[in-house]
Amino acid sequence: MAVMAREEWTDTRLDDLNKKVEGIDRRMETGFAEMREEFRAIRGETKGESQAIRGEMKAEFQANRGEMKAEFQAVRAEMAALATMLNQTIYRLFGGMLVAWVVGVIAIIAQT
Condensed to tens digits (0 to 9), the pLDDT of residues 74-112 reads: 999 999 999 999 999 999 999 999 999 999 999 999 997
Q: Radius of gyration (Cα) for the chain, nearest Å?
A: 46
Q: 63 vs 8, which has greater pLDDT?
A: 63
Q: What is the mean pLDDT of the chain?
A: 91
pLDDT at 11: 83
Residue 7: which residues within 8 A CB-CB, separation 6 or more?
13
> What distances in angstroms separate CA 98 from CA 66, 84, 88, 91, 102, one per listed residue?
48, 21, 15, 10, 6
